[in-house]
Amino acid sequence: MSAPVPSAARRFEGKVAVVTGAGGGIGSAVARRLAAEGAHVAVCDVAEPAAAATAASIAGPGGRASILAFDLTDPAACAGAVERVVAEHGRVDVLVNNAGVNRRGDLLSLTDADWDLTFAVNLHAVVHLCRAVLPHMIDAGGGAIVNTASQWGLHPVPGHIAYNVSKAAVVSFTRNLARDHAPHGIRVNAVAPGEVFTPMVAAHLERTGRTRADLDALVPFGRVGEPAEIAALIAFLASDEAPYLCGSVVEITGAQAVG
């Protein structure tokens, strides 16, 4: 299932967007959605072939995209990526911090490496990219940042402590950043999805022997979410149609409860 772009929707015409984790799943859906609405999208992913595939899917229908393959856990690489976008396009209007990893397990089963990687990607990369983008948005008089948190960051589930805590930190970071930079005209918001059928979820189902129908049965709406549906919400939050939304964390879960 997809969330089609209304034919008249060109909310990002002339704007430049940076999207992380855009090689697949929610990130690639966000990149395509913003491009379909007129943005030039910097498609960021650690895997260059995946980023190239997303960029090609944007260019095919006539959209505009560039590829940035870099390691989000490297602060210098994050700063360098933003500077490259600004050097080539003169601005960054939208930053979508979407990249994430999920190392499953309780505290006793997780390694230090699991914990450190989770926070490096899910939280620290968000910090580094926001720090790099903010001066340019301040100089421009505004901008929009949307972070991908998680329903589990608000309502933790057992056996995912590193992921849950990192996403809870993203929620807090979003609200704090919004309070600090709303006076600069910068809107910072987050989405908190429930279960979404991404390649990462599909791989987990295959490993555990569960099926998509098993996940669908947990959701009152009758099915898990689709990446395009999360992308539609992110596009709205980043657009001028949400001028007073700042410091918000929007759950999108199909009424699924956790706990």
CATH number of the domain encompassing residue 37 = 3.40.50.720
Average pLDDT over residues 117-132: 98
Q: Nearest CA to 51 among 6, 89, 81, 93?
A: 81
Residue 39 has pLDDT above 80, yes or no: yes
Domain for residue 3, yes or no? no
Domain for residue 9, yes or no? no
Domain for residue 72, yes or no? yes
Complete DSSP assignment for 144-175 = EEEEE--HHHHS--TTBHHHHHHHHHHHHHHH
| Contact criterion met (CB below 8 Å) for 231 and 3 | yes
Q: How far is CA 20 from CA 121, 161, 214, 257, in A?
A: 10, 23, 29, 28
| Contact criterion met (CB below 8 Å) for 45 and 51 | yes
Say how many residues make up the chain. Answer: 259
- H or E, element range at 245: none
Q: Which residue range is the domain that position 116 belongs to?
A: 16-252
Tokens describing residue 96? 């979508």
d(CA 206, CA 50): 21
Residue 9 has pLDDT above 90, yes or no: no
Percentage of residues of the chain with pLDDT beyond 70: 97
Write the pLDDT tens digit of every residue in 54-102. 999 999 999 999 999 999 999 999 999 999 999 999 999 999 999 999 9
Whole-number pLDDT of residue 6: 61
Domain for residue 131, yes or no? yes
Domain for residue 176, yes or no? yes
Whole-number pLDDT of residue 198: 85
Domain for residue 5, yes or no? no
Q: Nearest CA to 149 among 112, 188, 105?
A: 188
Query: What total of structural domains would you count in the chain?
Result: 1
Q: Is 163 a known active-site residue?
A: yes
Active-site hit among 12, 70, 152, 163: 163
Whole-number pLDDT of residue 81: 98
> Any idea which residue has 């990249």 for tokens?
99
Domain for residue 54, yes or no? yes
d(CA 51, CA 67): 6
- Reported pTM: 0.94
d(CA 150, CA 167): 6
Domain for residue 93, yes or no? yes
